[in-house]
Structure 1
Amino acid sequence: MYSLKAPNGRARNFLHKPAFTQRWFIPVWLILGISRLLILTITFRRLAPYLGKPVGLCAYSHILTSDQEEQALRIARVIRLTARYCPWVANCFPQAITARLLLGFYRIPYSLYFGLCRDPDTKEFKAHAWVTAGRIPVSGGHSFQLFTIVGCYIKT
């Protein structure tokens, strides 16, 4: 005779996540992996045209509807959650590419930034990539205070 066991804690937690998160978890996991593979195998010059329109060093903020802001928040949550379960490095750059793809899929205007800062202890440069949609930090957090913008790509 078979007995059904109650799902473990992680599975139970996943089942309590919003439907959007459940639906997008595996696709986002795959996109994060493909993004990481692209970063490792092709040059930035070949990848850059797919990031959006280059606008130099300017910071852009789009005005979004409340529905677009809610959708951007859902996208941010699923990317943050999924990145924790990747066996590969799913740091800021793969997350930024994934955010760019999902925001583009939902036709939400975004800004993708690249920044640099100097570590005060080691004096080495640190690079970071982050994506915003209006006032929503979709990936990479609020990084404007810590990093100097060295490149920006937008989609309106």
Structure 2
Amino acid sequence: MNSYRCRIVSLLKKPVFTRTWLLPVWIILGISRLVILTLSFRRLAPFLGHSVGLQAYTHLLTSPQERRAVQISHVIHLASRYCPWVANCFPQAVTARLMLGLFRIPYALYFGLARDRKIGEFKAHAWVMAGRVPVSGGHGFTDYTVVGCYLKKIDSEPA
């Protein structure tokens, strides 16, 4: 009982943005996971943004956009810790893409591969960058080779 009380007190100390968006982001993480499990990547890819292949891009953000991207990153990481389903890098990346699109913040969603030297198999990773802010997945550039990049759609197109 005391554990729940500590968690509630901890949640109440979080910023207003985090308290407001925690439940919606938690739900979006679940929907993202469900979509990933039910749709093929070919059908999901158009919703991720504009594919630019193997090229890596960085958008320039204003200070308010950067602050909002950091807030989005924090709430996604917090919500993913409390998911009873798998909320690994791919559902987090899809959720980050949706949240950044909602707030009209330019992003780049990356897919990467790396060979695990111990077992000789490939590991895959997805991460989202908004300017210099790693919104989900951390700094994947150090450990993974980029095999795909999706950018925010042009402003005249829907997010």
Does TM, scored on the shorter chain, surpass 0.5?
A: yes
Partner of 1:68: 65
Q: CA deviation at 1:105?
A: 0.3
Which aligned pairs between 1:96-107 and structure 2 lie closer than 5 A? 96-107=93-104
Q: CA deviation at 1:112?
A: 0.1
1:23 paired with 2:20, answer yes
Q: CA deviation at 1:145?
A: 1.1
Secondary structure class of the residue paired with 2:140: coil
Partner of 1:13: 10
Question: Which 4+ residue blocks in structure 1 deviate beyond 6 angstroms?
Answer: none
Letter in 2 for 1:58: Q
Distance 1:25 1:85 in 2: 10
Out of 34, 49, 67, the residue aligned to residue 52 of structure 1 is 49
Q: What is the number of residues matched between the two proteins?
A: 151
Letter in 2 for 1:46: R
1:145 paired with 2:142, answer yes
* CA offset digits 1:15-42 (Å, max 9, x no partner): 0000000000010000000000001011
* TM-score, scaled to structure 2: 0.93
Structure 1 alignment gaps of length 5 or more: none
Distance 2:113 2:88 in 1: 15
Distance 1:150 1:142 in 2: 15
Distance 1:97 1:111 in 2: 11
Distance 1:105 1:21 in 2: 16
Bigger helix share: 2
RMSD of aligned C-alpha atoms? 1.1
Q: CA deviation at 1:144?
A: 0.2
* CA offset digits 1:111-135 (Å, max 9, x no partner): 0000000001011100000000000
Letter in 2 for 1:37: L
* TM-score, scaled to structure 1: 0.95
Structure 2 alignment gaps of length 5 or more: 155-159
Partner of 1:120: 117
Distance 1:143 1:123 in 2: 19
Secondary structure class of the residue paired with 2:142: coil
Secondary structure class of the residue paired with 1:123: coil
1:90 paired with 2:87, answer yes
Distance 2:142 2:26 in 1: 29
Q: CA deviation at 1:61?
A: 0.2
Secondary structure class of the residue paired with 1:96: helix
